[in-house]
Structure 1
Amino acid sequence: MIQLDDLLREMVSQNASDLHIKPMRPPLFRLDGVLRPSKHNPMRPEEIKQTLDGILQARHRRELEERQAVDVGYSVKGVSRFRANIFIQRGTYGAVFRRIPIEIPSLLDWGLPSVIEEFTTLHQGLILVTGPTGSGKSSTLSAMIRLINETRPVHILTIEDPIEFLFRDQMSAITQREIGMDTPTFQQALRNAMRQDPDVIMVGEMRDTPTMETAITASETGHLVLSTLHTNSASQSIDRIMDAFPSSQQKQVRLQLSQVLQAIMTLKLLPKKSDNGRIAAVEICRNSPVISKMIAENRISEIDEEMAKSVNYYKMQTMNQSMIALVINSQISVETAMAASPNREELDLALRKIFYSAGAEGGNMGESYSDFSKIEELMESARLYTELQDKYKFEVDSRETRIRELEAEVGNSENRLQQAFQQLDRLLKEKEQLAAEKEKTREFYEKKMANLRKQFQERLNQKR
């Protein structure tokens, strides 16, 4: 019989992200997003049950009986940690194991936009990481927690089902609680969190209305709350939260969400162009004043357009804009982007406007030498280039003219300054001459006065 630990070691050695175990099939590994069978023999139902029973505790078995599925954390020493979902299918056991790296990823490892680092400096509000299963939501949350742990002296509380990455205190103090082992539900853990003095709360997933409600309340009361949703866009995430509440509460929840929401990041893992790895395309929605107003007024359908216009100032971007950046940087192919795009026509038009050629709507992208529209596109690009060149030349000529004018003004100023110095020299010489003449005049009149006094004294003596 195949040993589970051996399968998991093989999974890690092949760099697979997931292991699928199901009856009458060989174990399956997901490599770069593609499910591939292993070389092992098909597994019988009783063999699978015996293999999986070894990692189930009593509480796991109870939950499996009650809900027909249970999440379990499992470790192979020196290899990796794994998150397993064990379930019942057609009366027999099945399981999927997701590999969790021992080394907690960094945002730099993921190659995510730098604006996400800014989110880790926030002190309150709600941040959501969304996307389909296997898109890297948990890893992104953990990377954000890692950065906070490295840079901020705060108390971080994580609530997970099960615990995935194991953190050690650095600048922060971290408390990790697992559903079923340390607390019965996400909602109960969140309520208890209010009495545990957390600064940052990470909720593994907002699965139900009570958890959403408590998370929003925690965001309002001065906590930074990070969580995930299984949604494919910012607008879909907001709709998902709204739909979880009865219509009588939705207006109030919209107002709350418009005030506490900080950001929604949506991830989509795409195969790389150059190798067998994958890279994330990331949609980023931030709660700008305009977005906040749209949420409060239930204008959710307008959010995508606002994101597309808010790239420079708020660093938002749509999924298509992220894919365009990946195409331009040669990370993914045009075909990959088109296949994964939520709006292919928009993406096709955007790529045409830049420098890529695309086939007709609904066709494959590729060359077509008889398509004059491509010549038109090249001519339009050339026209825009010429306009930019002319504008640049005009600006350069204008600046050179102004430089010459300034040089002339400086030259005139230098001449005027030289003339002023010459005039000052003349005035100083005249001043010296006047001073000399003044001294001569003073001496002349002093002698004359002395003579007059002498004559007056002589006459006065004669009269006596």
Structure 2
Amino acid sequence: MTTLEQLVETAASLHASDLHLSCGWPPYVRNAEGALEPIPNEAPLTISSVKSLLDPYWTSEQQMRLKEVGDLDFPFTTRTHIRCRANAFRSQLGLGASIRLLPRIIPSMNDLRLPYLVQALTKKDHGLILFSAPTGNGKSTSIAALLRTINKTQKKRIITIEDPIEYEHESDQSLVVQREIGRDCPSFAAGLRSALREDPDIILIGEMRDPDTVHAAISAAESGHLVFSTLHAADVIQATDRILQYFPQGQQDQILLQFSNAFEAIIAQKLLPRRDKNGRIAAFEVLLRNDATRSLIRRGEAYRLHSYMHPRDGMQTMDASIRELTAQGLI
């Protein structure tokens, strides 16, 4: 029987970003162009075969947690040093898993074609910088590239709180400490509260997914730290609305005021197939903090932000970014 390590190796050879295991179907990968395709010559999976594939990489305690809550996140590394982030889950088909292959080498900001003023955010010393996109569109990779630059060029103390750790940063000019939810701390909010007692300059919060984490992240940015985090939203307007959705109506005005004072940038991104069939390339929507954008967010008028995202200020809409990539013949 094919092992999970062999399936991961095959996915890596196809330059796939993800490997999917689902009962009743053969293993699938998301290929370099972002399309799903089955791995050739593999038989449909069963509950027992999916479990057999995962057994070398999870503990009995993790399997009990899967039974209790229905899904489980866990990282693992193959013997050939391919790092992976796995999500195992129960479904109507039985047992399944989605496995993200994590590159060992962190790309540079130029490799990712990050806009100039997004790259310039590495020079900020405080504020909240959010990357927003649906799952699998490169948010974590973009932040890793920014932290890579800071780590190589500045003497900072960087603390990351992730679920799980995706990119491993080896301290260079900066001192980097990475903590994983479930192993090193119980939650993002708890990890962030601890980080604020550990003399950080820069904090990465893997995801803002609950009101405690959102509030703590904003407070950390307000108190003079540079904070990076992510949201699952398609554009900057949805990202602002998503923050509000975590709070009851009576608290939303206060959160808008704090967020408008704390944020430095919201960057939304979308991976698109390249015209030359050589993988995917990111389009970026960039909102930067200025008097106008801060005022709109404070007043709850995020729906008007696109009208104020002027290229002369270093900002751009997603539509403008896609038009530029099309004009350059890249997509």
Alpha-carbon distance in structure 2 between the residues aligned to 1:60 and 1:105: 32
Superposition CA RMSD, Å: 1.1
Alignment of 1:12-411 (within 5 A): 12-31=12-31, 32-39=33-40, 40-90=42-92, 92-307=94-309, 310-312=310-312, 314-332=313-331
Work out which of the two has the higher radius of gyration on C-alpha atoms and give 1 or 2. Answer: 1
Cα distance in 1, alignment partners of residues 133 and 154 from structure 2? 28
Aligned partner of residue 215 in structure 1, secondary structure? helix
Q: Alignment partner of 2:169: what SS?
A: coil
Q: CA separation in 1, counterparts of 2:253 and 2:61?
A: 39
User: 1:71 touches 1:83 (CA, 8 Å); kept in 2?
Assistant: yes
Distance 1:60 1:190 in 2: 24
Q: Distance in 1 between matches of 2:186 and 2:65?
A: 12
In 1, the alpha carbon distance for the partners of 2:245 and 2:26 equals: 40
Greater share of strand: 2
Matched residues, number: 329
Contact 1:291/1:303, CA 8 A, preserved across alignment: yes
CA contact (8 A) 2:23 2:93 kept: no
Name the CA distance, whole Å, in 2 between partners of 1:207 and 1:60: 22
The alpha carbon displacement at 1:60 in A equals 2.3
**2: CA distance between counterparts of 1:244 and 1:302?**
21
Q: Percent identity?
A: 40
Cα shift readout 1:318-357 (whole Å, capped 9, x = no counterpart): 000001110111111xxxxxxxxxxxxxxxxxxxxxxxxx
> Is the CA contact 1:9–1:79 (under 8 Å) kept in the aligned structure 2?
no
Shift of 1:91: 6.6
Deviation at 1:58, TM superposition (A): 4.1
CA distance in 1, matches of 2:173, 2:67: 42
SS at structure 1 position matched to 2:110: helix
Report what 1:11 is aligned to. 11
What letter corresponds to residue 37 of structure 2 in structure 1? R
Give the aligned residue type for 2:319: N
| Matched-pair contact (CA < 8 Å) for 1:12–1:79 | no
Is the Cα–Cα contact under 8 Å of residues 161 and 179 in structure 1 kept in the other structure? yes
Cα deviation, 1:371-417, whole Å, max 9, x if unaligned, reads xxxxxxxxxxxxxxxxxxxxxxxxxxxxxxxxxxxxxxxxxxxxxxx
Do the aligned partners of 1:84 and 1:97 also contact (CA within 8 Å) in 2? yes
- The Cα offsets for residues 129-153 of structure 1, whole Å up to 9 and x where unpaired, read as 0111110011111111111101110
Higher relative helix content: 1
Equivalent pair of 2:22/2:93 in contact (CA under 8 Å): no
1:192, CA displacement in angstroms?
0.8
Amino acid at match of 1:16: A
Matches of 2:39 and 2:79, distance apart in 1: 23
Q: Distance in 1 between matches of 2:248 and 2:275?
A: 45
Note the alpha carbon deviations across 1:206-252, whole angstroms, 9 max, x for none: 11111111111111111111000000111111111112111111111
8 A contact 2:24–2:93 mirrored in 1: no
Q: How far, CA to CA, are the matches of 2:185 and 2:89 in structure 1?
A: 22
DSSP 3-state at the match of 2:23 = coil
Q: Deviations over 1:259-314 (max 9, x none)?
A: 1100001010011112231110000000111000111111111101111xx211x2
Q: Within 1, Cα distance between the matches of 2:255 and 2:288? A: 18
Give the deviation of 1:62 after TM superposition: 3.7
CA distance in 2, matches of 1:286, 1:77: 43
Q: Which amino acid in 2 is paired with 1:325?
A: E
Residue 41 of structure 1, CA deviation: 1.1
- Find the aligned partners of 2:68 and 2:177 in 1 and give their Cα distance: 29
